[in-house]
């Protein structure tokens, strides 16, 4: 169902959708929606299995119209995946634990650090787990996207400095901007002041 929804959203947005997943943290909410509550030793294997099934469903071509998965966490006897997405939908994983970061290096397309940039000092160390696992799996570490959630409540100079550091030093290439107050001019400030400031800072570092 997740893969079908992702493909539909990607088609409706003309190829602008990417899929974010997590291992599961709010288990009461998961149970409340009828989901399976996993035990600690099951969480990451279940996520890895889910990634494989979703990736297969999103990548399936016209010559393979049935998706199957043997389980044990997500047994799929076989189902038609529906329409193909408009582009290759990336799978981004929100994680901070080394075991989950290694899974990202092996299987995922992007990393979203939990807690936004509140633990920015830990990002170099955590990112290294992804790079090491990717290299061991025969993948190019630089091909795995780094995504950071940034908030509009910060001062412009502080926000520019943090984003420039993430982009220029830590290879973050995607930023999700969260408004602190939808009724303010934060979007205009971000476009007019923050983005040019980051571009100038990153250019000066790289030159």
What is the model's pLDDT at position 18?
97
pTM of the model: 0.89
Does 2 score more than 80 pLDDT?
yes
- State the pairing for strand pair 67-69/91-94: unpaired
The lowest-confidence range among 1-10, 33-42, 136-145, 160-169 is 33-42
**Backbone region of residue 18 per phi and psi (left: phi > 0; alpha: psi in -120 to 50; beta: other values):** beta
- Tell me the percentage of the chain whose pLDDT exceeds 70: 96
State the average pLDDT over residues 70-89: 89
Q: State the number of CA atoms in the 13 A half-sphere of 51 facing the CB.
A: 24
What residues contact residue 192 under an 8 Å CB cut-off, 6+ apart? Answer: none
What confidence tier does 108 reach under pLDDT thresholds 50, 70, 90? very high
Backbone angles phi, psi at 76, to 5 degrees: -125, 100
pLDDT digits (tens, 9 = 90+) for 126-146: 999 999 999 999 999 999 999
Rg (CA), the chain: 19
State the average pLDDT over residues 18-32: 85
pLDDT digits (tens, 9 = 90+) for 163-194: 999 999 999 999 998 888 877 788 889 999 99
């Amino acid at each position: 169902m997740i893969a079908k929804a992702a493909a539909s959203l990607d088609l409706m947005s003309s190829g602008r959708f990417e899929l974010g997943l997590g291992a599961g943290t709010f288990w009461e909410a998961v149970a409340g929606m009828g989901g399976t509550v996993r035990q600690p030793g099951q969480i990451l294997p279940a996520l890895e299995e889910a990634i494989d099934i979703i990736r297969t469903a999103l990548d399936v071509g016209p010559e393979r119209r049935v998706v199957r998965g043997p389980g044990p966490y997500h047994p799929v006897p076989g189902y038609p995946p529906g329409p193909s997405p408009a582009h290759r939908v990336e799978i981004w994983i929100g994680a901070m634990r080394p075991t989950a970061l290694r899974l990202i290096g092996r299987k995922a397309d992007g990393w979203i650090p939990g807690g936004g940039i509140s633990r920015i000092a830990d990002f170099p160390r955590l990112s290294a787990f992804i790079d090491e696992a990717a290299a061991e799996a025969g993948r190019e570490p630089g091909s795995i996207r780094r995504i950071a959630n940034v908030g509009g409540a910060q001062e412009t100079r502080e926000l520019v400095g943090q984003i420039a550091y993430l982009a220029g030093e830590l290879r973050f290439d995607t930023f999700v901007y969260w408004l602190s107050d939808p009724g303010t001019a934060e979007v205009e400030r971000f476009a007019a002041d923050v983005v040019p400031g980051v571009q100038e800072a990153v250019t000066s570092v790289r030159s």
